[in-house]
Chain A
Amino acid sequence: MLKLENITVIYNQGQDNENMALKDVSLEANKSDFVVIVGSNGAGKSTLLNVILGKLKPTGGQYYLKDKAIKKLSISKMAHLIGRVYQNPDSGVFSNLTIRENLKIASKKGNRGPTFSRIDPKALELLEHLKMGLENRLDTVVGELSGGQKQALAMVMAVITNPEILLLDEHTASLDPKSARRVMELTKMINEELDVTVMMITHNMDFAESYGNRKVEIKEGVLKEIPERQTTAVYAM
């Protein structure tokens, strides 16, 4: 599914402030994997995500997606392959539009023209699955929703078109514990029932322990796999 081979990223190469953000990072994620990525601030987690999203060209190494070496992917193609949800609930939705309009945008990834598309029925099914009552409030402006509701909607929007991978960058960090738990349950459902490979960055050790079938840690740009049941111990070091 996704394979990183000896990825190295050096910022400001050849300058006084040269910084090696990733060192020979190798990672393989298969279909339906739920990979939890932990690491302290500045360890290189976001750099890794930017490489996977094609926003950052690595200084060295190879990146494969669905067994194809990736040099440069179009924004449209990347959106089809990878869904993403970030920490800020407003970054995954369009706050000034209604839930219906948000789902309409998410139902068709890639270039759009002056056409009229319909909401993918799957989007409504997913909304019903959330049990937040959002399916009955389709004409509500998203800006009026709570952070947890927005984040849940963002997750639904990210997976409507069946991406291969769902990248989650501390997506529960700004939510209250109850909403965070609900969003994590949705994450698990997406992984298990929709068969989407999930790569989740988190600082929440409870979630790192409870969710995911694989855990990796990034420390000073170096990635290593954490054996099962050692997550807390490794992170506490």
Chain B
Amino acid sequence: MNQPKPVYSSRLVFGFGVIFLFLVLGQWVSRYFHLPISGSVIGMVLLAVTLGCRILPLSLVEEASQLLLQHLSLFFVPAGVGLLSYRAMLKDNWIPITLAILLGTIITLLSTAGIHLVLLRTKWNRKSNKAGSTQ
């Protein structure tokens, strides 16, 4: 980011083309194999794998990806405003639904981070176990 960049960058345009290509690929895969996972998530994995296999140079997609991800939050605003149209649906069950969202999210956050911390801090005696099992 510190280096001066050219005003016009065809890499940005390339990058967008590639990202949309992977979106289309992801959607194909999702539809063809009848997967419950959305095309965009499959596209994300495909993109990471293609980059990992060095088929695609990182420099080609880096700028476009950075541009999109820097403003990712903005793209969620219309969906958030959409909550407005669901008011009627919540009427009878809004208390448990709110509880599920608030408590559920807090519990999920803490237990996910918690178990990962436990896993990270547990000393796995893998070497000694292996030594013990191979007789």
Is A bound to B? no
Residues on A facing B (Cβ under 8 Å): none
